[in-house]
Amino acid sequence: MKLIEFSGDHLDVLRELMNIAVGNATASIADLLKAFGTMHIPKITISDITGLKQYIQDTIPSENSHYVTKQLFGGPLGGEFIFVITDESAINLGNHLYDIDAPNDADIYDAVIELTNILSATMISRLTEELNVKVQFFVPSTQIIKGNDLIDLDEAQGYVQVIIISTQMEFQNQNINGHIFILTKDAMIQSLKDLIDQKLEELYA
Amino acid sequence: MKILVADDSKLARLSLMKIVKELEPSCEVIEADNGQIAIEKFQENSPSIVFLDLTMPIIDGYEALTQILEINPKAQVVVVTADIQSQAQAQVMALGAKMVIPKPISSEKMQTVLQQLVF
């Protein structure tokens, strides 16, 4: 299968649109937490599946346990939204959202899912709005993973090429820090490229 | 009228320039893709308005804003940012920006900015 190439202009458009999307998401979470968050510029990487595993291992510390929430989205643009937060940050999140000292496991799961829903809805919706398409979100699922082996090889089978959009959500005063990955693959990469081409045509018209 | 657009994203610069040109075809738009070049182009051209992104390489928007206002304390700098948190906006206003507007900028918003700052 021929790999799809993105030009500098394609990457610039994607980075800028994601920058806007991350700005919106940070503001939404800041409202939820009544706190100020640090925005991190999204990194865009095009890789094969081995590169994805390596990227995640380089980004996520191996010594922690993590709440990993995955949510699929589909439509003219499809992919997977992954939110990764350490167990310590997840407890702080539950603590902060429910205003209780020792949130139970159900509260923590609920808080992580809620945060992921807001993040994915805000970021993906903002991105797709800019690209003039609509997507459908599927129910997210959360699991606790020890270390940083977040990608299941069975899940990854058949992936030829992956676009990794990664950023960080950081609320320093609340000690809440999470990583966000948006993965899109194969045919959807071509869809994304086509949508960006349309955006560029509008710009140069 | 001269306008300086400083943003490391080509998409952001082109989008903003296109809106300005539609509203004010005679306007001369100068581009900068980092904070250092923005400061240099500001010194060379004395633009009526500077549209400044915050996250840029070499010198970021916060530092560029500070240096531009040191060169000309009356400079009209509009910060254009994806960070729409009120605290972030208050921070750049405290540094001396005339306005903070969220990305992506619309034609209507640009019209308001030009009317308030130039006409």
Nearest to A20 among B10, B87, B103 (CB): B103
The answer to the question of residue A118 being in a domain is yes
The answer to the question of residue A178 being in a domain is yes
The answer to the question of residue A188 being in a domain is no
Cα distances (Å, whole numbers) of residue A72 to A23, A68, A82: 21, 13, 9
The answer to the question of residue A152 being in a domain is yes
A87 lies within 8 A of chain B by CB: no
Range of the domain at A104: 8-182+195-204
Q: How many beta-carbon contacts under 8 Å exist across A and B?
A: 51
**Number of domains forming the structure of chain A:** 1
CATH number at residue A13: 3.40.1550.10
The domains located in chain B, with CATH, are 2-117 (3.40.50.2300)
Write out chain B residues lying below 8 Å of A16, CB-based.
Answer: 9, 11-12, 103
Contact assignment for B11 to A13 by CB distance below 8 Å: yes
Torsion of CA A130, A135, A137, A138, to 10 degrees: -150
The answer to the question of residue A110 being in a domain is yes
The answer to the question of residue A1 being in a domain is no
Cα distances (Å, whole numbers) of residue B40 to A39, B79, B81: 27, 18, 21
Give the span between the Cα atoms of A127 and B7, in whole angstroms.
19
Smallest CA–CA distance from B103 into chain A, residue: A20
Structure tokens at B119: 């006409």
Give the span between the Cα atoms of A113 and A111, in whole angstroms.
6
The answer to the question of residue A117 being in a domain is yes
Structure tokens at A149: 């082996």
- Does the bond joining A103 to the residue before it have cis omega, within 30 degrees of 0? no
Smallest CA–CA distance from A39 into chain B, residue: B83
The answer to the question of residue A127 being in a domain is yes
Strand, helix or coil at A166?
A: strand
Contact assignment for A203 to B81 by CB distance below 8 Å: no
Tens digit of pLDDT at every position of chain A (205 positions): 677 889 999 999 999 999 999 999 999 998 888 889 988 889 999 888 888 888 989 999 899 999 999 999 999 998 999 999 999 999 999 888 887 778 889 989 988 998 999 999 999 988 999 999 999 999 999 999 998 888 776 676 667 788 999 998 888 888 898 999 999 888 889 999 999 999 999 888 8
